[in-house]
Structure 1
Amino acid sequence: MEKVQWKVEGMTCANCALSINKYLEKQGAKEIKVNAIDGDVSFEINDNTPQQNIAKGVEDLGYKVIGEKIIQGKKSEPFLKTNLQRFLFCFPFTAVLMLHMIPSLKLHWLMNPWIQLTLCLPVFIVGMHHFGRSAVKSLRRGIPNMNVLISIGAASAFIYSLIGAVMNWGNEYLFFETAATIITLVFMGEHLEDSTVKSTQRALKGLIKSQKVMANMIAFDDQHQELIFPVENTQLRVGDLVLIKTGEQVPADCKILWGDVMVNEALITGESVPVSKGKKAILIGGSIIEQGTAKAQVTAVGADTVLSNIVNLVKKAQGEKPPVQQMADRISAIFVPTILIIATLTLIINWIVLGDFTPAMMRSIAVMVIACPCAMGLATPAAIAVGLGRAARNGVLFRHAKSLELFKNIQQAVFDKTGTLTTGQFQIADFRFQNIDESTFKSIVYSLEKYSNHPLAKSIANEWKDTGEIRWKNIEEIKGQGMQATDADGNQYLAGSYVLATDLTKEDNHNIYIVRNNELIGWIDLQDEIRPEAKQVIDHLKSKHIKTVMLSGDRYAKSHQIADQLGIDVVIAEQTPEQKLETVAQLTAAAPTVMIGDGINDAPALAKATIGISMSDASQMAMQSAGVVLMNHGLNKLPLALGLGRHTYLTIKQNLFWAFAYNIVAIPIAALGLLGEYGPTYGALIMGLSDVVLAINSVRLFVKKVD
């Protein structure tokens, strides 16, 4: 299967995304994600299926496909490409047509049907070229979109007026201004909708913009003299050397070879406080050097950088549909046929009741024009785009859109202890060894622990890294217990928790036990510190009536001591990964639960919880198992993540309520003729503004207080 990523232009509503989705399904595509907000389309297809054929099918639906394998050459830009250009073209003709509606002007020449036809015709041609073509293509594919309603409404008024002019029936049969105003006002509404919906992508665009900068590349001449010259960061390759000075943006992910700098990583973590970094430290592309100069080696470029991965994950999440959107999608799929039936009934019933075809037709047109399926389709994507964008800009990465919805009713928060509630930056407080010398003991411990992802092991390996290394015949990490290795002579070594030494000693109060061939050869004690923000985060959760639980593999006494300092409600200690998984499963079954962890032993529990949250310095397995990643190396953004999840879901509900309420109220008003003589005109204006209201409500999430 080949992964395909396109940018598709011309999508204006959820029905557009739905039509593309259904077409791709018919072509055998899998893992389809269509984002109506920014036009991103991704799917998997068999390698022997030509992309050009699929792209042509999508373009036959009325959209423009942009992709590396699709573009054959630069095409000339079409006349009146954007909705703004179309609106500006149509507006003068429509404005003149509307003048005869002002009695005080007494412009008798405007009452001439052929002058009205001349003024209306350019607007009608532009409108039908845009709305009409899209409507025909959507009908041909069996998925009618909003443009069907606009086209039928405008065409009905135009054709009726044309017949009236040819038959010389009089001015009461002329509605050229109605056809023109429908088209013009819908163009205006779609332009406003495009502008407001695009603003929901503001945060993501900020991240994308930061990906392209100039870099100072270091090279050497034939005399081995250092040369520095500017290049665009897109030209950098892994292994290249770069010079980064004060005030410059880090051009790509790289490792410092020389220099000490203060780095602002706010773009990634949401924290504006500069971080000190020195030799061998990793610099994330997009961060800013606030002080100092460094020479660094590029470690990742393009799609492999941290920033690119964040942007791609956010885009992927935006393309997903949470459960709350599914009902709206089902309604959107049958909305247009339903409105056509209602419009037909409106025409027939009003014709019978009023005894006059003309007002009955105007009411029927008003029903078609005022109905708005786009609002239902955009209710969820617009809110999710803002929620995910704000989260990414503040150091919270939602890997799945459904996580936003799941936050709405979280009742329990389960924390791992080591590396989550504590810093994980341990120091060796004490150690003992027996039947072995100190240097050999340290070498054994370092050689075992350097292969572990556990915070305790990393701290020991970092502190004893200069003690020499043993080459193991084989080595593996046993979840929840520790490391196991065999040397070239067949000696077996273990390093881990008291579980490994229960038969060898009664002292159960040490952190790490070292065993060789079932003989205890030493132990190590480490000291850790509680994260400075942990107490504040726990207090915040308790103020929201969220039960807090500590779930740890450490000894009960040590776990309980930290829990008492933080005010955690429940302590569950001495847990293996299997027991953690079982405990989280039981808690999740009882009430919606969020699990926050960082180690390889937390991965199963993170996957089992209602929502799993890991931190950016967590193990890769923990990050892959989690639905949410906190990018600021701490718990500071946990309240923001919870708050954004709840408020995004609240915004989605508000948007859906508006979408349903608008159509439920507006359609009967139009059908009963309560919009008056110019019902279609008012209907087009109201419909055009309805999506704008929804987008503005979504954009409020950028500034709304959520934590």
Structure 2
Amino acid sequence: MNNPNTITFPVYGMHCGSCATNLNKAFDRIEGIESQVNLATEKATLTFDENNNKRPLATMIMEVLSEKGYQTDHQTIKFEAEWSCSSCVESTLKAIKSHHLVIDATANFATKTLQINTFAGISTKQFITELIALSPYPLTHKVAITTQQQLQNKQKSEREKQRKENMSLVIALLLSLPFWAAMINMLFSDTPLLSPWVEFAFATPLQFIIGARFYKGAWNSLKGGSANMDVLVILGTSAAYFFSLFLLLSNTPSHLYFETSSLVIVLIRLGKYLEFRAKQASSKAINALSQLQVLDALVKKGKTFKRTLIEEVQVNDIVQVAVGDKVPVDGIVIEGNSYIDESLLTGESAAIQKQQDAQVFAGTLNGDGTLLIKTTAVNEQTKLHNIIQLVESAQMSKAPILQLVDKVSAIFVPIVLLIAAMTFTVWMFTTGDLEQALMHSVAVLVIACPCALGLATPTAMVVGTGLAAQKGILIKDINTLQLAHKLKHIAFDKTGTLTKGQVAIDDVTAFDSQFLPFLLAMQQSSKHPIAKAVIAYCNEMDITAEQISQPQNIHGKGLHGRFKEQDILVGNRKLLSHFDINVEQQLANHKINIAADQNVIYVCYADSLLGFFSIADELRPESHTAIGELKELDITTTLISGDKHSVVQAMSEELGINSFYAEQTPEQKLQQLSLLQKDGLVAMVGDGVNDAPALAQADVSIAMGGGSDVAKQTASMTLMHDDPQLIAMAMKISRATWTTIRQNLFWAFIFNALAIPAAALGYLSPSIAAIAMSASSLIVLSNSLLLKRTRLK
């Protein structure tokens, strides 16, 4: 082989030697490949010659694995890119995807971030260098933020970049002041305010120092085989500048256009500055979360605690968290008692008591007690880091409408160049005036700046997902934001979603004053959830327990005890029947009828019924409002639960839910959701493992923040605190975002459709074209940023 390369990657799903042999043969059938598949280590090693393959090797490897039914681990590599328009993005993606080991690549112009998907374990320095060399635009490898120090370095870099941007803009505005004064003077006098050589002196640094970034961007674009907005800027301003310089040096008596080239540079530079500030604002949600990360932790080493860098903390380490410190990792409390402020993660204002076996999360603030915790997740596995990744992923993903905009932008520049060339040719042919033909073609180039089309739309998406994050709604991908505004139906699980997921005492009926004292006495020694609910209820009622003896649990039935040599029973009908108590007759004596399927607990003493109560999963206080707000948004609702028919029906009627399905298994939930989808897009809201299949089936899946990890991993949207009102909030944000995008696209397309012909026909001078172009970009950009001021209840 010539120029051989070797990669090794894991392969999962092989069961026997023949599996490895067959996969080995499949790889060897790829031209230019020699493979070795090891069943014991579950790894494949490929030696290949990249020059022998017309298609990227990664694509062929994935096709073989998919065909054989095997899987491998992937790795994501991120870069920061120096782009100036959306066509820069397209040319970069095209170049990067040509690398033989790149599985896929995605980019976001608004955040200037490139994300590459490849095989795990091959991101060597050589691989990174190859990717950077392939790109027509400068790339900087982006290391994941895992410590406070890294965040500080990033913020320092951003502040330095902002300082340079501010200084560059100030210099540009100062150098342009004489030209603004000259233009105002032209309105009142025919005598030029500036001499030709003074204009030249001010225009030159504007053209080649302030405008250097546009020359650099244009060169990179052309080198990459495309023509972006920078090409338009440089063609237009260079034509005006050098034509004026020619007239000046040849001493030709004619109007010079130094002010045109200069003001175009300054106005576009102003637009770039505003774009830069908008991008900074869009990343505030990520920065705010990143600031919660800590630099080190006190880790138990032998008999002492040593301060250890956070990257070196391992799962199952014992970590000490002092009073007032941030929790450095996710873990379980093994010793101590304290209150933890989790408001920055969950939105809950009240501190939460944490004691033994309680779970704590990185980034939360410890209150008044020292805690020892056993780590369960560190660094990139923590809940905090996952939240940061969710927000970044939402901003990285690209909705179909953005893909359309990028495609339009990619072909827009060549079309504009053709129109400019035709404008020059027609004006030159019809008038014979070189100066006039040049100025009209320059006006076309200036007015056609695609900033409004290429930037304002993704900025609206970034602002929308950022606004959702600030409200406690994490959106995993922008496709979810796109679908959410079209939803007409939402299905809910009951327990833990519309209810608190906790047992509560309901409908207490007492026939004797000893009912609650006996009930409390029997439940004090129990750790059952019902016991906790009883104790909480009795404490609120200021009940004092009786002194009972011989309490014992009768599995599946209830509790039995003794008081003054008489039996005390607390339990269901089976328990009372076991002690030969006819509960139906005693209820009839009190003229009460209770359905057999109701969750009722009875209390008896000396064979006499003292009273009863029902148990229920208490509704969240926000559930009524949440369903009402969805109705106001013209969204119908369905309750799908595994609970009893009578319970589900009662809750549906109480909340005003349109329809319900009770006693549903996970498979039945999935089937019901599929039926609902026949009538349109459906969202599913759940929190448990049993909701995961339905969440995966839904068009938009929403998990409660306090739900199971499986539910949150399956869902495309997570509510950081368990408030169902956030569902309506998410719908409102989605609708507001897509309204803004439609407005932006309308203005961008309408502006270019009207302005380009006007410039070609001679109705717009280059100076006026520059002002109009910048104004259009600022209008749609400002419209996107107005999303931040959206009034949401």
Alpha-carbon distance change, 143 to 299 in structure 1, aligned in 2, over 3 angstroms? same
- 1:535 deviates by 1.7
Any residues of structure 2 matched to 1:146-225 within 5 Å, and which? 146-172=229-255, 174-211=256-293, 213=294, 217=298
Which residues of structure 2 form unaligned runs of 5+?
A: 1-72, 145-156, 507-526, 534-551, 554-594, 600-613
Displacement, 1:216? 6.5
Picking from 705, 708, 721, the partner of 1:619 is 708
Q: Which residue of structure 2 aligns with residue 255 of structure 1? A: 332
CA distance in 2, matches of 1:654, 1:80: 30
Aligned-partner residue type, residue 645 of structure 2: Y
- Alpha-carbon distance, 1:240 to partner: 4.4
Q: 1:607 to 1:79 in 2, by over 3 A?
A: closer
Distance 2:243 2:200 in 1: 12
Aligned counterparts, 1:330-479, within 5 A: 330-352=407-429, 356-426=433-503
Q: Distance in 2 between matches of 1:183 and 1:394?
A: 39
Question: Partner of 1:514 in structure 2?
Answer: none
- On the 8 A contact 1:3/1:44 being kept in 2, the answer is yes
Q: Structure 1 length normalisation: TM-score?
A: 0.77
Distance 1:4 1:623, change over 3 A: closer
Question: Do residues 605 (structure 1) and 713 (structure 2) align?
Answer: no
Task: Tell me what 1:63 maps to.
Answer: 138
SS at match of 1:426: strand
Counterpart contact for 1:199–1:699, Cα < 8 Å: no
Which amino acid letter does the alignment assign opposite residue 684 of structure 1? A
**Seq. identity, %:** 32
CA distance in 1, matches of 2:74, 2:479: 26
- The one-letter code matched in structure 2 to 1:551 is I
Q: Structure 1 427/81 Cα, relative in aligned 2: closer, same or farther at 3 Å?
A: closer
Structure 1 counterpart of 2:674, one-letter code: A
Q: Secondary structure of the equivalent of 2:497?
A: helix
What's the offset of the Cα at 1:402? 0.8
1:9 corresponds to which residue?
Answer: 81
CA drift at 1:579? 2.2
Match of 2:44?
Answer: none
**Cα distance in structure 2, aligned partners of 1:578 and 1:704:** 40
Give the structure 2 partner of residue 33 of structure 1.
106
2:684 is matched by which residue type in structure 1? M
Q: Which residue of 2 aligns with 1:692?
A: 778
Are residues 322 and 68 of structure 1, via their aligned partners in 2, closer, same or farther at CA, if it must alter by over 3 Å? closer
| Aligned 8 A contact 2:421 2:441 in 1 | yes
Question: Is the partner of 1:276 in helix, strand or coil?
Answer: strand
Q: Check the 8 A contact 1:10/1:64 in 2, yes or no.
A: yes
Partner of 1:576: 665
CA contact (8 A) 1:15 1:374 kept: no
Secondary structure at the counterpart of residue 664 of structure 1:
helix
Query: Alignment partner of 1:333: what SS?
Result: helix
Tell me, in whole angstroms, the C-alpha distance in 1 between the residues paired with 2:763 and 2:369: 70
Q: 8 Å contact 2:93–2:106 — kept in the other structure? A: yes
Alpha-carbon spacing, 1:100–1:577, altered in 2? closer, same or farther (3 Å): closer
Letter in 2 for 1:674: Y
1:641 corresponds to which of 705, 727, 730: 730
- Report the Cα distance in structure 1 between the residues aligned to 2:162 and 2:296, rounded to whole angstroms: 39
In structure 2, what is the equivalent of residue 483 of structure 1? none
Show the counterpart of 2:584: none
Measured in 1, the distance between the counterparts of 2:335 and 2:496 equals: 29
Matched, 1:652 2:735: no
Instruction: From the superposition, tell whether residues 652 and 288 of structure 1 become closer, same or farther in structure 2 (CA, over 3 Å).
Output: farther
Task: Report the TM-score, using the length of structure 2 for normalisation.
Answer: 0.70
Which residue is equivalent to 1:22? 94
Q: Are 1:313 and 2:386 an aligned pair?
A: no
Q: How many residues are aligned here?
A: 608
Q: Deviations over 1:650-678 (max 9, x none)?
A: 22222222222232233234334334xxx
Judging changes above 3 Å, is the alpha-carbon distance between structure 1 residues 617 and 245 closer, same or farther for their aligned structure 2 residues? same
Stretch moving more, 404-413 or 125-134: 125-134
Question: What does residue range 244-283 of structure 1 map to in structure 2 within 5 Å?
Answer: 244-246=322-324, 248-283=325-360
- C-alpha separation in 2, matches of 1:250 and 1:700: 36
For the pair 1:706 / 2:792, whether they are aligned, the reply is: yes
Q: 1:106 to 1:667 in 2, by over 3 A?
A: closer
Question: 2:128 aligned with 1:45, yes or no?
Answer: no
| Relative contact order higher in (CA < 8 Å, ≥ 6 apart) | 1
1:51-75 Cα deviation digits (max 9, x unpaired): 21111122xx232323459xxxxxx
Q: Which deviates more from structure 2 when the two are superposed, residues 9-18 or residues 645-654?
A: 9-18
The residue type paired with residue 561 of structure 1 is: A
Higher gyration radius (CA): 2
Between the aligned partners of 1:579 and 1:243, the Cα distance in structure 2 is 46
Counterparts of residues 491-570 of structure 1 (less than 5 Å): 509=597, 527-570=616-659
RMSD: 3.6
Equivalent residue number for residue 490 of structure 1: none
Q: Name the residue aligned to 1:134.
A: 217
Inter-partner Cα distance in structure 1 for 2:385 and 2:143:
18
Question: Contact between 2:643 and 2:662, CA under 8 Å: does it hold in 1?
Answer: yes
The residue type paired with residue 184 of structure 1 is: V
- Deviation at residue 27 of structure 1 after TM alignment: 2.0
How far did 1:312 drift?
Answer: 0.9
Separation in structure 1 between the aligned mates of residue 774 and residue 311 of structure 2, nearest angstrom: 41
